[in-house]
Amino acid sequence: MMKRKSLFALLMALVILAGALPTAASAADSAPALRSEAVVCLWEAAGSPAPSGTEAPFTDVALSAPYAAAVRWAAETGLTDGTGGGCFSPDGHVSRAQMVAFLWKQAGKPASSAALPFSDVAADAWYAPALRWALENGLIDASGSFAPDAEVTLSDLQALLAAADAGELLAQLQGSYVELFPEMSLEKYVPVWSEVLLPYCSSAEELGQYYQMFTLRFMGTQYGADAIAAFADDPESAVFNCFFLHDIARFTIDGTTISGVDAGGTERFRHSYHYVQDLPVTYFGMELPAAMHVYESDDAQADAFRYFAFSDDTPGETYHLEFRYGASLENLANYTEGDYAYWLASAIPADYDDATMRDCISLFVTENLGEAAEDVDVFTTIAGESGTSYSNLFSVILDARYDAIWHDAIAAVTGAEQADAYAQRLKGAISAELYGPDAVAAYAESGGYAFDCWFINGAERFTFRPDLSATVTMTDGTQQTWQYEPLGTHLMGEGETFLFQGTEFSMATEGELYRSTEPAGEFSYLFFLPDTMETTYHLEFRYGSDPEALMGYMKGPYAYWLAAAIDADADLETITKVIRLFCLENLDYSQRSAASLSQIGELIGTWDADMSEFGAAYADVTLYFTIDETGHGKTWMNGVLTTEFDVYAYESAPGRGVYVAYELASGEAEGADYTLETDAQGRTVLTLMAADGTIRYVKRAG
């Protein structure tokens, strides 16, 4: 049976990078900010709320102007009264005094009694209340002069907005905090973990593995140089240290004061802090689209507690905090390099309750595993917008027209001479015409087994519609239509196992069960596994009259039967994808034949990814992989080993063929079409074309 489709091994690093690296800063950032630009920045920082009115508040702002909504919002909320005479002056520049006033108004005009230390600011200046507030909240440096009439650049504006956000962030973090993961791992929360993880697990064993992954993987004891050395050879084995350092057991944030006590209640530090800057988060040499908000102690002797850097997490939104602290800014936001590598303190309010912990665990799992299975309606997904008809998968892909696709996909791994024989083995494993008690008895006697994946009970085609109705076209041409209702997620094959390539696997698989609203005989219940045309290019499902019996994978009246289907209008590209996916996920990678190894000769060497096609944002990214004489490959990104895999290939035509990468850590294989060419500079170019995208590699000389 087919597993979920994963990312292609060699493209994985690139896919992770896509959209993650920030674009280069525009030269316009250093130009004076226009009033229209300033208002747009404020509007976007507020979440781009829709203005309530439809009339233009100023004569010089057309409703069609790209900044019109922002200006209308600013006028409605009192952020601006314009520049007089019914005008807004969108192309006018913004002074420092005006910018501070904008921010103060957006904050609700809070009162402040902070002193004004600037010689160029009168106590009764129109912007004085705003400036006092900005000083109190650390938005403005109190040293030197203020220069109220100086023009603000976009960079200045962005820095002020970041500072304002940082002040708001600290206000949301008020309270006392203890370490998150020791609390998460308490025995009383094991049932919560089980409940939250269950939709993603096919067995109790897998649930236990996920539980360990989500707890122990964040409870390491190393960080900094020790962790870097420990994980250098295998970054995928990295364990993060999310504990508090320097003997702190509890942190308290009170206003702008941060303090910490040890396990005995002795206070270890207490300092007031002010915001200094945002630092981009770096992970394995990449700048991610996230930042740490850095605060500095007013006490220069704060040592290991001089700087605190907080992520965007707050108790009100994500139920926990993530932060760092230390004596130096260097690498403070770098997760995998420097003195803070592989350490990120995680905390939860000290007075949390069980409901908060449940929410925290649920969010943690959902953010890392995606949407819960019960939230994914397979029926409506496979139905599409107006209904989709499905034919039996194997009646399509076992057609002799597609034998070459089977051959090439398999030949890459087995060698060309063994490909046809192996194809017959795979085809036979899923095209039996025996199921139920007869199959159970036959396989018990022979010790082998095969699956019946045909449609049964006279069905030839299924049409599923988004209104949860289904039409079954029978082999005699008649049709029957029924309406269905969902019964939630159920587990098929619980407690059942089978042996595949010497390894015992659990057959427990979760799916969605539906019941007809009227009696429908052997079509009264439909049970869908998560496969869809978008994910694995096919469907896997069951239908019958007894829902309990449908849950028996290799026992009962439906034993060894699982219908497989494909869109009746599937094109050649889709058919090719599903055949390759089936082959690659069911081939044996435990032993390599000499014939298979002889097919990769032209791929041995070092291949540098051509990043020029991905824009300036990737100019500093280096990506390459190596393949040695044994077919073993390694991918390196920015000097860090990210993936190890075995490489297979079959040249189906001169200079082109099928490429397969079997990732050692996950035990999953992915395939791509490849071409080998010589470019105008005489270099050998390998182009890999997978479902996830296309990338070119140039063979390194020597």
Average pLDDT along the chain:
86
Average pLDDT over residues 14-30: 32
Predicted confidence (pLDDT) per residue in 452-478, tens digit = 999 999 999 999 999 999 999 999 999
Task: Report which listed range, 29-33, 46-50, 384-388, is most confident.
Answer: 384-388
- DSSP annotation of 153 reads B
Residue 371 has pLDDT above 50, yes or no: no
Q: Compute the C-alpha angle 20/22/28, nearest 5°.
A: 160
Q: What was the pLDDT predicted at 202?
A: 63
Average pLDDT over residues 594-610: 94
Higher-scoring residue by pLDDT: 353, 92? 353
CATH code of the domain made up of 378-586:
2.40.128.20
Average pLDDT over residues 566-594: 92
Q: What was the pLDDT predicted at 17?
A: 26
Lowest-confidence pick of 164-178, 352-366, 516-530, 610-624: 610-624
> Are 175-369 and 378-586 equal in CATH topology?
yes
Q: How far is CA 118 from the centre of its chain?
A: 48
CA distance 306 to 251: 14
Confidence of residue 617 (pLDDT cuts 50, 70, 90): low
**180: part of which helix (H) or strand (E)?**
helix 180-184
Token pair for residue 455? 């449609």
Confidence of residue 284 (pLDDT cuts 50, 70, 90): confident
Q: Compute the C-alpha angle 66/72/77, nearest 5°.
A: 140
Task: Report which listed range, 362-366, 375-379, 513-517, is most confident.
Answer: 513-517
CATH topology of domain 9-14+592-699: Lipocalin (2.40.128)
Question: For the chain, how are helix, strand and coil distributed in percent, rounded to 5?
Answer: 35, 30, 40
CA distance 486 to 377: 9
Which long-range contacts link 79-87 to residues 24+ away (Cβ below 8 Å)? 79/39, 79/42, 79/105, 79/106, 80/39, 82/57, 82/58, 83/35, 86/58, 86/59, 87/58, 87/59, 87/60
Q: Domain residue spans in the chain?
A: 9-14+592-699, 32-172, 175-369, 378-586
Find out if CATH 2.40.128 is the number for domain 175-369.
yes
Extended beta strands in 603-655, E state: 605-609, 623-627, 632-637, 640-653
CA distance 600 to 625: 14
Lowest-confidence pick of 37-51, 284-298, 361-375: 361-375
Q: What was the pLDDT predicted at 96?
A: 87
How many of the other CB atoms lie within 10 Å of CB of 261? 18
**389: part of which helix (H) or strand (E)?**
strand 388-392
Predicted confidence (pLDDT) per residue in 170-219, tens digit = 888 999 999 999 999 999 999 999 888 887 776 677 788 888 888 888 99
Predicted confidence (pLDDT) per residue in 56-86, tens digit = 788 888 877 888 888 888 888 888 888 888 9
Q: What was the pLDDT predicted at 112?
A: 86
For residues 517 and 482, the answer to whether their CB atoms sit within 8 Å is: yes
Q: What was the pLDDT predicted at 74?
A: 86
Confidence of residue 389 (pLDDT cuts 50, 70, 90): very high
The CA–CA distances, whole Å, from 598 to 282, 651, 671, 698 equal 41, 11, 18, 21
